[in-house]
Structure 1
Amino acid sequence: MTNPQASFLAILLHGVGSNGADLAPLGTGWQSRLPDVIFVSPNAPEPSDFGSGYQWFSVAGVTEENRPARITTARPSFDAVISTIIEEHGFADRLDRVVLVGFSQGTIMSLDAVANGRWPVRAVIGFSGRLATEKPLTPAKATDVLLVHGTSDAIIPSWETEKAQTELIAAGMTIDTIIEPGLGHTISIGGADRACDFLEKLVEAAM
């Protein structure tokens, strides 16, 4: 279904072992402030190795050394999901009006999508993630990035966001970060609100 009246398309990408329905309320919460934005929250393409939900790539036995190759292997299935959504909603020629919003593994895949230049979308908003793309980075430099992370995240430490910021800025991208003291591996109300502020500014600037 296309919607030529919509100003932006935001694709919400969940973490491993979760599903699209789990992340969909984030878009629902933003909808009142962003009525002209379409929010879509798909399932990742693979059943999770851990018995429930879905995954963008397997984390069974994952290490710092093998994670980049797993992300690279996952690109075709990730791209198929993104392409289908973009085409269905009429944004194939409007990538400058597309935003990827990720949590955890969804952030990893979203950052990879722009860090290697495949998806020159308008922006990435990433919660509780990391940059683990194979080097060298060849980014879509016009894409703005906002990364949000809690200092008490026991799954992916917040220094991963700081490392991602350093590496992406060095590669020529514009990155903003929000580090939330005491927050675990989750999305806070405050973090969600500030991310909505970020998205609202992008939409207003494009009008």
Structure 2
Amino acid sequence: MSQTIDGPRLPAASGAAKSLVVFLHGFGADGNDLIAIGAEWRRLLPDAAFVSPHAPERCMASPSGRQWFPLTFRDPDERRRGVVAARPGLDAFLDAELARHRLTPDRLALVGFSQGTMMALHVGLRRKIPPAAILGFSGMLVSPEALKTEATGKPPILLIHGDRDDVIPVDALFAATDGLSAAEIPVEWHLSPGLGHGIDGEGLRQGAAFLAGALKPRRTSLRSTSQD
């Protein structure tokens, strides 16, 4: 990922960002696909700034859309190669956005959809300082066997999937939870009945509540001293 990436942003509703939520869109979409979720979540997350970058590559399967890496569905190793190649550019973007808001890396939350969930899990679990949370919709965990040696932390994770998903079947949800659990990384999950490859209202509600808890402002404990 050599190209500079960018995308639509929403400032914190409170006026001063205390956390950063980054949306990672799916294959063939772009950053405009998810930024509207940020507008919906601003009331529950007033201190969060939102950004939804466009993936760096044009998508051959959808020329008006973008991709984090190519997918032919013919090579079983292409997802692994794809997330590895795309990671440095996304990491650099995340660092730049955190610096823009003068935030520490632990105030970051990653929200992915489909291919964006692959990126959120791969990158988020390997950042030097883990993010505050990872939320994934309709995605999958790439190369779960590598987590035991490559994961750098255990951030809170919530995975949400539709039980009628015919693009990334629901089996991917359970494979991801099994892979994360094998690496001793706690994960919560929610199955949306009747939902295909998408995000429903209940998923949005649960996702927002999950992020609100993970991004809750830290309390600073003060030690009182007495003078004789």
- Structure-1-length-normalised TM-score: 0.90
Query: Structure 2 CA distance, aligned partners of 1:143 and 1:30?
Result: 21
Does residue 21 (structure 1) correspond to residue 32 (structure 2)? The answer is: yes
Off by >4 Å, runs of 4+ in structure 1: none
Partner of 2:130, secondary structure, is: coil
Structure 2: gaps of 5 or more residues: 1-10, 220-228
Residues 113, 119 of structure 1: 8 Å contact kept: no
**Counterpart pick for 1:96 among 78, 90, 106:** 106
Residues 48, 54 of structure 1: 8 Å contact kept: yes
CA RMSD of aligned residues (A): 2.2
Residues 69, 134 of structure 1: 8 Å contact kept: no
Partner of 2:222: none
Query: Structure 2 CA distance, aligned partners of 1:205 and 1:80?
Result: 25
**Counterpart pick for 2:85 among 73, 77, 81:** 73
The within-5 A match list for 1:177-192 is 177-192=189-204
Aligned sequence identity (%): 36
Distance 1:135 1:46, change over 3 A: same
Partner of 1:12: 23
Query: Structure 1 CA distance, aligned partners of 2:47 and 2:159?
Result: 23
Query: Structure 2 CA distance, aligned partners of 1:130 and 1:88?
Result: 30
- Structure-2-length-normalised TM-score: 0.82
Query: Structure 1 CA distance, aligned partners of 2:21 and 2:55?
Result: 16
Query: Structure 1 CA distance, aligned partners of 2:77 and 2:205?
Result: 35
Structure 1: gaps of 5 or more residues: none
Give aligned pairs, total. 205
Distance 1:24 1:162, change over 3 A: same
Residues 26, 67 of structure 2: 8 Å contact kept: yes
Does residue 143 (structure 1) correspond to residue 155 (structure 2)? The answer is: yes
Query: Structure 1 CA distance, aligned partners of 2:47 and 2:125?
Result: 28
The within-5 A match list for 1:1-207 is 5-50=16-61, 51-91=63-103, 94-118=104-128, 120-133=130-143, 135-137=145-147, 138-204=150-216, 206-207=218-219
The structure having more radius of gyration, on CA atoms, is: 2
